[in-house]
Amino acid sequence: MSTRNRHYGLAPWSAPIFAGALALLVIGSHAALAEDSVVHSKHDLSAQGPGPIRGVHENEICIFCHAPHNAAPQTPLWNRENPITHYRIYESSTIDARIDQPSGASKMCLSCHDGSMALGNVLSRPSTHPFVMTARTIPPGTADLTNDLSDDHPIGFRYDRALSNIDRQLRAPEVVTEELPLGRHGEMHCTTCHDPHNNQLGDFLRVTDRMGMVCLSCHDRDGWKHAAHAVSNKRTSGRVVDPSERLKYATVSGNGCLSCHKIHSAPKRERLLRFRREEEGCLNCHSGAVAAFNIASEINKRSGHDDRRLTGVHDPAENPFTMRRHVECVDCHNPHAAEPNHIGVVRGTLGPTVKGPNLHVSGVTISGREIDQAKFGYEICLKCHADSVTREQDDTPRQVSQSNTRLQFQTSNPSFHPVAGPRRNRDVVSLIPPLRVGSMITCTDCHNSDNARFMGGSGPNGPHGSIFEPLLVRNYETDDLTSESAEAFALCYGCHSRESILGDDSFSLHRRHIVGSGAPCSACHTAHGVSRSQGNSTNHSSLINFDLSIVFPADSPNGRRIEYMDTGRLAGNCTLTCHGLTHVSFPYNNRTTGASRVQSKREGKRGRR
């Protein structure tokens, strides 16, 4: 067949097929043809047809759609009236094509498949004597698309180079397989994907839908080739949300796109999702039924990113700075690109760059710029925990109050935890190897599952849920008068040596405050950082930002105030009232004792080798 015929929408009714079928009618034969024939397919509506819907007496096959005489002036010898229905068409916040009402070959298909026109009405017969059928119209079900096409793959748009230039995840039309013919003007029709005369692949598809091949003929999703959903051989029989609807193929990779999407009559119209609640599209497998880890149980924990609290809020086109507060799996994971996470027990940090499960996810940079693909893990977190107008506020009252994590992590701040860049603070002498001054950490070093594999547990990595608030990988007590223990401040002791802290290596009164007075780490230190627009290196070095529910102003020659002053390496003074004790420029100096302790420990270790 010529390329010209394909692109003019003539491929579905080529001359050889039509002539062959017509010859059969002439000789009255109804013997089965090859599997690629309309004969004995669901489109065989003759009395000998295989389906429940068929003519009661009519033995001809092609006559239900085509006629050599008295046909409509429409290729190819069309024997039906086209519907005049106005259809509700597909809409999406992320679609770049202009979608018009169905036309051409699509209208031919809809003359039966919108369920409005009698199947036995054909132009070659008087309207008073239609074919008598076992069903007047297509009964409700998967074949009845109705006049609502908003839950079906869009048709009626031009698929041209202009569209593929706008949407970089669409293949250029000239490289799309010739097995998927477009219409006369390059428009998408039902017949682009379906050949009504050939049911060899099922559903009259021109290209198999196994492993998403028919979808991937046009859609070139970033990262799909190596994505977990593209390569997983996990069996899908254990899904829990919709066990009544069996998927077409046995494995995740076999179903490909079909695992999450329905091409026709999708419950969630936008993006043709299988489930009305978007989180169920993930949790039907990621509940321990199909996937290796039970994420559903993780988000049920005391603190977690529970995406079931707000549904229908997320939109892929949302603005991270103005969106409503919510969390969905796809805020952090791209289901078309997420790769397996093989990270087991590691020492130190996981590294700042994006890992497999978070590949090809949008983010916000440390400078506040929205980007399509995050390079660093913290950029994904900053979508919600930075400039968003609905970001969560800090429950702890601080001298310097700031809920914008992006501002707290700026590397030009007086102090910060090294998430967006390294920190060169020589006062930090308590780090546990391989951490050292200049090392970087990630958000998930602190915010993660309490049973995460990277810290020796058996659960999934990632901030899905934890028994420790706020979604912490280890316990972190912030109440005043807490009894010091390895468990009470386990989060801090995961990176900072408990021996060093209680040995007063960096601050000569650490032990007295933590053990003797029951002051938690959070009484003096903030977790993320102090913004340069609110603090300075003299008063807010070493993450000093007092908890105002524990620390109060003290009377001083300069008035009532709370103040810490950094006076040099391992030295400073405080003016404040804490636990009923008032300090006014109370000094400490560890430049000698702290350094000598560290040096003596190192020499002692060398001596024991």
Given a cut of 60, is residue 479 above it in pLDDT? Answer: yes
Q: How many CB atoms lie within 10 A of CB 36?
A: 13
Position 278 scores a pLDDT of 87
Per cent of the chain over pLDDT 90 is 77
Q: Which of 462, 414, 421, 458 is nearest to 438 (CA)?
A: 421
**pLDDT category of residue 159 using cuts at 50, 70 and 90:** very high
Given a cut of 90, is residue 446 above it in pLDDT? Answer: yes
Position 437 scores a pLDDT of 92
Position 295 scores a pLDDT of 95
Report the DSSP pairing between strands 529-530 and 581-589.
Answer: unpaired
Q: Virtual CA dihedral for 265, 270, 276, 279, nearest 10 degrees?
A: 130
d(CA 287, CA 299): 10
Cβ partners under 8 Å of residue 168, min gap 6? none
Given a cut of 70, is residue 61 above it in pLDDT? Answer: yes
Position 426 scores a pLDDT of 87
Identity of the amino acid at 146: T
Position 35 scores a pLDDT of 54
Position 20 scores a pLDDT of 38
Position 538 scores a pLDDT of 96
Given a cut of 60, is residue 190 above it in pLDDT? Answer: yes
Given a cut of 50, is residue 19 above it in pLDDT? Answer: no
**pLDDT category of residue 547 using cuts at 50, 70 and 90:** very high
Given a cut of 80, is residue 120 above it in pLDDT? Answer: yes
Q: How many CB atoms lie within 10 A of CB 278?
A: 22
The number of helices, as runs of H, and strands, as runs of E, in the chain is 18, 10
423: phi then psi, degrees, rounded to nearest 5: -120, 135
Question: In which element (H, E) is residue 595 found?
Answer: helix 593-608
d(CA 417, CA 331): 24
Can you tell me whether residue 518 is helix, strand or coil?
A: coil
Position 12 scores a pLDDT of 37
Match 């070959």 to its residue by tokens.
105
Note the pLDDT tens digit of each residue in 496-509: 999 999 999 999 99
Position 242 scores a pLDDT of 62
Given a cut of 50, is residue 103 above it in pLDDT? Answer: yes
Q: Which of 347, 343, 378 is nearest to 357 (CA)?
A: 343
Note the pLDDT tens digit of each residue in 573-602: 999 999 999 999 999 887 544 444 444 344
Note the pLDDT tens digit of each residue in 242-270: 655 788 999 999 999 999 999 999 999 99
Cis amide prior to 463 (ω within 30 degrees)? no
Contact 361, 372 (CB under 8 A): no
d(CA 191, CA 207): 12
Query: Domain locations in the chain?
Result: 1-211, 356-608
The residue-averaged pLDDT of 385-407 equals 93
Position 241 scores a pLDDT of 62
Note the pLDDT tens digit of each residue in 206-223: 999 999 999 999 999 999
Can you tell me whether residue 193 is helix, strand or coil?
A: helix
Note the pLDDT tens digit of each residue in 362-372: 999 999 999 99
Sign of the torsion formed by the C-alpha atoms of 429, 431, 436 and 437? negative
Which DSSP state fits 127?
T
CA angle at residue 489 from 484 to 494, to 5 degrees?
A: 135
Which of residues 521 and 391 earns the better pLDDT score? 521
Note the pLDDT tens digit of each residue in 514-541: 999 999 999 999 999 999 999 999 999 9
Average pLDDT, whole number, for the chain? Answer: 88
Position 239 scores a pLDDT of 80
